[in-house]
Homo-oligomer: A and B are copies of this chain.
Amino acid sequence: MYLHLQSTIDDAQRAGVDAAALQLGVRLVAPESGAQLLEGAQLLEIVSAGVPVPERGQVVSAFTVLPGVIEVLDRPGEQPLWSATRRPSTVVEVAGAVFGGGRASIIAGPCAVEDGGELLEIARAVQSRGATLLRGGAFKPRSSPYSFQGLGQRGLQHLKDVRESTGLGIVTEVLDPREIESVLEVADMVQVGARNMANSSLLKELGTVDRPVLLKRGFGATVDEFLNAAEYLLCAGNTRVVLCERGVRSFDQVTRNLLDVGAIAHLRGATHLPIIADPSHAAGRSDLVRAIGRAGMAAGADGLMVEVHLDPSAALSDGQQAIGPDELEALVADAGVLCELDGRTLLTGDHQTQHPSLPKIPTHLRGTA
C-alpha cells in the first residue's frame, strides 16, 4: 500500500502522519520504483515495521482523517483521482460562484483586458445579467507573435481594480510558471488555456497553489488526455479543478471548433469534477454562441464561460466571437431553464434571495487546495 500526501504538506502535518504510522506499527519509506513516479509526488510506501501491516480498512481509517493526506493507494497510479468511482462529485466554490453538486454558474467578460474603464463597464454589464465571475486575459496565448499578447501586469491591475469596484470574482489565465505568483495576487480562479493543457510544468506548479483552477481542454486532446491533465493538478494536491470543454478541431470550417457535447455528457458520468462549456471559442462566430452555449448546458455542463464585449466589432482580440450584454442575458435565461430541466440550479448574483431553500453543500464534497 502507498500513502499519497499533498505536495503542500507542512512539517506539523507530516509529524502527525508519522505519529499515526508509529501507532499503526508500520514504516513509511520512499517507494523503490521512484524514478517512474511524478517528480515531487508525495508518495510513500507503507511497509512492515516488524509486525504484519494491518489490513487495508484499518490503514485507510488511520491515515485519511489527517490533514495533508490525500488517500491510500494499493499501487501507484491505480484508480485515477479524477474517477467518479472515488466520490460522487466535487463542488468548487469561487467567490460567489459554485460549480458542481447541482449548482452551475456563469463566467463572462472580454477575451483580453484592453482598458481599465472599459473593463469596469463590461464587468457591470455582465454582473447585472447574471454572471458571477469576470473573465479577462492579461496574458494572452496567441498563434502569431504579432497578435496582441495582453497588457500583462497592467492588465492584472485593471482586473484587481474591477474586483474591488464590483465584488466579482476574477478568472484569468496564466501562461508561464514564473507568472503564477503575480496572477495569484488577482485571480480568484486561475485558467489554464487550451494551448497549455499539456504543459506539465505549469500544471505541476498549479497543483500546489491554494486557488481553484479552470482547465480548458486542448483542441487536439482526447478526453483521456484531458483527464490526465486534471490528474496532474489533483495528484499534487489541488482538488478545486473545473474542466472546460471549448471545442475540438474538425475538418469542417463553418465553426472554428466543434463543441464536443458527447464529451461533456461522458465526463458527467466519468468524473466527479465539474465541467463547463465555452461556446465562444467553439463557435468562433458571435451569431452561434447562444445556440452552442445552450447545447453545452443541455448536454450537462455545470456552467458557461462566455466572451462578452460592449462593442464586439472593436475588440482587439477574438472580437468576432464576443456577444453583447443583451445576448448574454438571453443565454443566461436559457441556461437557467436548462438547469431546472434536470434539477440543478443556476446561481446568478441574487441567488441567496432567489433560492432560499437551496440545500447546503456537504463539506466532504468541497474541493480543497
Contact = CB atoms under 8 A, between A and B. Distances in A.
B298 A37 contact: no
A198 to B, nearest CB: 4
Contacts of A200: 141-142, 145, 149, 175, 195
Interface string A137-180: 00001111111110110000000000000000000000111110
A194 to B, nearest CB: 9
Interface stretch (A56-64, A90-98, A224-232, A353-361): A224-232
B248 A248 contact: no
Interface stretch (A18-26, A285-293, A306-314): A285-293
Interface in A265-301: 265-266, 268-269, 282-283, 287-288, 291-292, 294-300
Contacts of A316: 35-36
Interface string A65-88: 000000000001100000000000
A183 interface: no
Interface stretch (A47-55, A119-127, A128-136, A256-264): A256-264
A341 interface: yes
Contact of A261 (B223, B229, B253, B259): B259
A288 B265 contact: yes
A143 B224 contact: yes
Given A36-B316, A200-B141, A252 B41 contact: no
A258 B250 contact: yes
Contacts of A178: 177-178, 201
Given A145-B235, A198-B195, A248-B252, A292 B288 contact: no
A14 interface: no
A28 interface: no
Contacts of A195: 198-200
A222 interface: yes
A181 to B, nearest CB: 13
Given A222-B252, A231-B145, A291 B282 contact: no
A219 interface: yes
A144 to B, nearest CB: 5
A287 B300 CA distance: 13
Interface of A: 35-39, 41, 76-77, 114, 141-149, 151-152, 175-179, 195-196, 198-201, 204, 218-225, 228-229, 231-232, 235-236, 247-255, 257-266, 268-269, 282-283, 287-288, 291-292, 294-300, 316, 334, 337-338, 341
28 contacts: A35-B316, A38-B149, A39-B149, A41-B146, A77-B146, A141-B200, A143-B198, A143-B228, A145-B204, A146-B235, A176-B177, A177-B177, A220-B221, A224-B254, A249-B251, A250-B260, A252-B260, A257-B262, A258-B258, A259-B262, A261-B291, A265-B288, A268-B291, A294-B299, A295-B295, A334-B341, A337-B341, A338-B338
